[in-house]
Amino acid sequence: MAKIGIFGAGYVGLVTGACFADLGHEVVVRDVLPERIERLRAGEVPIYEPGLEAVLERCRDRISFTLDVQEAVAGSDFLYVAVGTPPTYAGDADLSAVWTVVDELPDDAQAIVVMKSTVPVGTGEKVRAALDARGLEAVGYVSNPEFTAEGTAVRDFMEPDRIVIGAFDEEDGDAVEALHIGIDGPVVRTDVNSAEMIKLAANAFLVTRISFINEIANVCELVGADVKHVAEGIGLDHRLGPHFLRAGIGWGGSCFPKDSLALKQLAANSGYHFHLMNAVIEVNELQKRRVLQKLQRHLGRLRGKSIALLGLAFKPNTDDMREAPSLVLASRLIAEGAEVRGWDPVARPELPGVTLHDSPLEAVRDADAAVIVTEWPQLLDFPSEETRAAMRHPLIVDGRNLLDPDSVRALGFAYEGTGRRISPTDVLPEAAEPELEPSE
């Protein structure tokens, strides 16, 4: 069994560390945040990731947490880099945390550096050159990108669709492959640049599918088709498959927005205008804003109207608010003069101007509309006599097509989904005050 140092105790670093410890390896996770390390040492898990706590508990004696670089490096055969790579203002990935880790390696380091963080193509070559320039030729370098989705990260790690390993040196690649013994899944062995590109291209393709189905949904609304049925009919084609065809209010999260932007930027910096990527990103920006038009169609001007956002995290089963569509929606609604309330079973973000409530019922009391922003299963039984009676206007805009339109309408709500047929009975009787004043 190997000794593995992991840099970064975030969503990716913690899951990677816990799963390797579960496979029997000795793991030391290093982070720069004292509070995070203290909590982990006390047995707390600082992020919401189903299943992670149980794995950490199970391997307590094989995983430790530290603020000290030396402790993570000493005796380690592998040094996994799992620090964040957020976008810069230019849209490129900010690699400063990655470079800090590389620069902090001691002069006598012997391990294999394994890049888990998502980085632009060419990063591995630059790190290799920097290591060589410091006389660290004995330090190996391997790209081993992550494909774990939040909420299912532990399962995705232990039962992966594939393990991608890009190495400069065949033996280093073999060593990283051997770390994964015990995990069943095809292994793709390649060069470092291609491994880096696989990660960016996989995410780019997934967001392309979502933006595609979102545009189909928008056309469905105009022509009276139902995108849920359309997606089902498309997805049964074995050449296409059913995944990532759920229309909604757009994709967010810690990876998709930054990685699609980084790929677009990487292409542009390399002299190529990536038309498709640009369109896919633009469609997503517009998609987040379409809810406003739906609300206006029913309620007229939004100034003074009270709108409840149900679900705030970028998707269910996470507390992650990074690039959550709720952030764009809340600020657009506030700009229109609406009063915005929010509810989420896990995320408790501090959103300026948004009042958070402890239950969907409280959030919609006297509200003019409820918008389902995140498809938390708790919202499946949101429509009821009680919630309808509590609302000033019983209007539900279902940004995720979570609910069944017929049963919601049968309860007396006006319902508008995404890419679904609009019923004439859906327009609220007192709706549509004319737009007399320009919105703020």
Chain residues in the site for ligand UDX (CB under 6 A): 7-13, 31-33, 36, 82-85, 97, 100, 117-118, 146-150, 203, 206, 210, 244-246, 248, 251-256, 314-315
Q: Which lies closer to ligand UDX via its Cβ, residue 141 or residue 413? A: 141
Cβ atoms of 77 and 112 within 8 Å: the answer is yes
The least CB distance from residue 32 to ligand UDX, in Å, is 4
Containing 116, the helix (H) or strand (E) segment is none
The least CB distance from residue 82 to ligand UDX, in Å, is 5
Contacts of 195 by beta carbon, 8 Å cutoff, 6+ apart: 124, 143, 144, 145, 164, 165, 166, 188
Which amino acid is present at 19? C
Q: Which lies closer to ligand UDX via its Cβ, residue 66 or residue 278? A: 66
**Annotated catalytic residue 19:** no
The least CB distance from residue 173 to ligand UDX, in Å, is 21
Q: How far apart are CA 237 and CA 182, in angstroms?
A: 33
Q: Which lies closer to ligand UDX via its Cβ, residue 11 or residue 343? A: 11
The least CB distance from residue 167 to ligand UDX, in Å, is 19
Q: Which of 19, 59, 220, 255 is catalytic?
A: 255
Give residue 353's region: left, alpha or beta (phi > 0; psi -120 to 50).
Answer: left
Q: Which lies closer to ligand UDX via its Cβ, residue 185 or residue 412? A: 185
Q: Give me 440's structure tokens.
A: 């703020």
Backbone angles phi, psi at 416, to 5 degrees: -135, 120
Q: Give me 271's structure tokens.
A: 């002299």
Nearest to 192 by CA among 124, 91, 241: 124
Query: CA dihedral defined by 258, 260, 262, 267, rounded to 10 degrees?
Result: -170
The least CB distance from residue 317 to ligand UDX, in Å, is 9
Q: How far apart are CA 71 and CA 64, in angstroms?
A: 10
Active site residues: 255
